[in-house]
């Protein structure tokens, strides 16, 4: 990245794009690619005095948030060194998005490279996942986790998360690629297969994100609107059939969440009091959320410091419900309220507000038949950002490296499309 000759640039593009398959392998190699590329890019920036590459509002706001988190680790957190594990190197996420932005500006072929990486990985998971579903064992010898398909992720049940979070990026790159007719049919088949496979993964949040991003995209895009709608309807028909033939999946994906939230009652509860308190998603999530909220109430402005939920949740004055402690409260917004206070919470909220505001502008232009502010490519990328900042669903640790890489990818592509257009 220092000389950035054409041959060097091709190698760098391949290394960066290889983060897509490595995310299936585990967190080590994606994190290594993220860290090394961020450090080399910072060296390139300072050596060549190209500070203008960071001169944009989104990255400035991100770096302010990062500095704020580091200060919380130093002055607020009960265990500074533990807190530093989350905050100190968090800057890599923003820099990695900037790396993608910069590489696209230098060589548009990286878009095609990312596209084929995604198609290859999605296809491999589809083939392997269905083999595991029908035979009980995948190509690597990994068995089904109960009735849940995990494919190459084995016991780490996040295949559905991988597919649902990267699906908008695949759709975005598909929308701008020059294609033969057979390729359109292949991608249509792949979309249907991926939709059904996410359902078979048994990951409720992933299935919800798939539906959310699909609804968002179908409403706001133009050229491939019917294409996605048809593939989605076909997938829903197959999912309905799978649901009828798998009572366990039906119970997990639909019945249990509805019962836990008080939307329906089981036959055993018909005679119980109708005033029974509904829980948020599940009893465990409800317990974690209420514990985190008590932590927020105790320190509403600055919170308790990054990665401190796992420490402070053991305090008797915060303990609520059947399982008040975990490594994180399983919701980004609640986690930031507990660990970074209102100030940290506003950072994430500002992204959500931007996504909603931009979406409304796009929708308004469609209604009044005006020029659309976003291309189909940008809408799909914005859908990827939306599911990353959606507040009303369980999710992982906000500072988790694996998750942050999947979030930073669409942001890098989106920022490049927006600012390059302005330039």
Q: Tokens at residue 345, please?
A: 């919470």
Locate the domains of the chain by residue range. Answer: 6-55+90-257+374-422
> What is the rounded CA–CA span in Å between residue 124 and residue 127?
5
3-state secondary structure at position 143: strand
CB distance 409 to 30 below 8 Å: no
pLDDT tens per residue across span 243-274: 988 888 888 888 877 776 666 765 554 444 44
Q: What is the radius of gyration, based on Cα positions, of the chain?
A: 22
Q: What three-state secondary structure class fits 145?
A: strand
42-86, pLDDT tens digit by residue? 999 999 888 888 888 999 999 999 999 999 999 999 999 999 999
Write out the two tokens for 66: 């990062």
Q: What is the pLDDT of residues 340-398, one digit of tens each?
A: 999 999 999 999 999 999 999 999 999 999 999 999 999 999 999 999 999 999 989 99
Distance in angstroms (rounded) separating the CA atoms of residues 382 and 375:
10
pTM across the whole model: 0.93
């Amino acid at each position: 990245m220092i000389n950035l000759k054409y041959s060097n640039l091709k190698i760098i593009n391949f290394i960066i794009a290889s983060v897509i398959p490595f995310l299936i392998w585990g967190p080590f190699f994606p994190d290594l690619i993220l860290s090394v590329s961020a450090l080399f890019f910072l060296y390139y920036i300072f050596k060549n005095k190209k500070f203008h590459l960071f001169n944009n509002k989104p990255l400035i706001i991100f770096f302010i948030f990062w500095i704020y988190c580091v200060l919380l680790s130093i002055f607020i957190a009960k265990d500074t060194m533990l807190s530093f594990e989350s905050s100190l190197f968090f800057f890599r996420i923003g820099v990695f998005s900037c790396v993608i932005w910069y590489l696209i500006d230098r060589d548009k072929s990286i878009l095609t490279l990312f596209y084929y990486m995604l198609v290859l990985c999605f296809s491999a998971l589809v083939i392997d996942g269905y083999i595991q579903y029908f035979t009980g064992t995948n190509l690597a010898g990994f068995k089904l986790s109960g009735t849940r398909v995990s494919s190459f992720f084995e016991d780490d049940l996040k295949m559905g998360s991988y597919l649902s979070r990267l699906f908008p990026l695949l759709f975005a790159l598909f929308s701008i690629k020059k294609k033969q007719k057979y390729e359109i049919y292949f991608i249509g088949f792949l979309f249907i297969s991926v939709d059904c496979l996410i359902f078979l993964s048994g990951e409720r949040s992933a299935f919800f994100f798939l539906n959310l991003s699909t609804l968002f995209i179908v409403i706001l895009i133009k050229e491939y609107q019917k294409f996605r709608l048809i593939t989605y309807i076909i997938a829903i028909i197959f999912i309905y059939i799978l649901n009828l033939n798998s009572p366990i999946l039906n119970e997990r994906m639909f019945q249990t969440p509805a019962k836990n939230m008080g939307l329906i009652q089981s036959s055993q509860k018909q005679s119980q009091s109708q005033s029974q308190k509904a829980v948020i998603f599940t009893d465990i999530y409800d317990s974690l959320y209420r514990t985190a909220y008590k932590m927020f109430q105790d320190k509403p402005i600055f919170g308790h410091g990054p990665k401190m939920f796992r420490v402070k949740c053991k305090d008797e004055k915060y303990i609520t419900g059947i399982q008040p402690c975990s490594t994180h409260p399983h919701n980004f917004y609640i986690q930031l309220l507990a660990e970074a206070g209102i100030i940290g919470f506003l950072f994430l909220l500002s992204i959500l507000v931007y996504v909603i505001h931009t979406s409304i502008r796009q929708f308004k232009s469609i209604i009044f038949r005006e020029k659309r502010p976003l291309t189909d490519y940008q809408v799909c990328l914005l859908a990827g950002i939306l599911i990353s900042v959606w507040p009303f669903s369980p999710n992982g640790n906000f500072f988790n490296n694996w998750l942050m890489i999947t979030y930073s990818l669409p942001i890098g592509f989106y920022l490049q499309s927006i600012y390059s257009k302005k330039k």
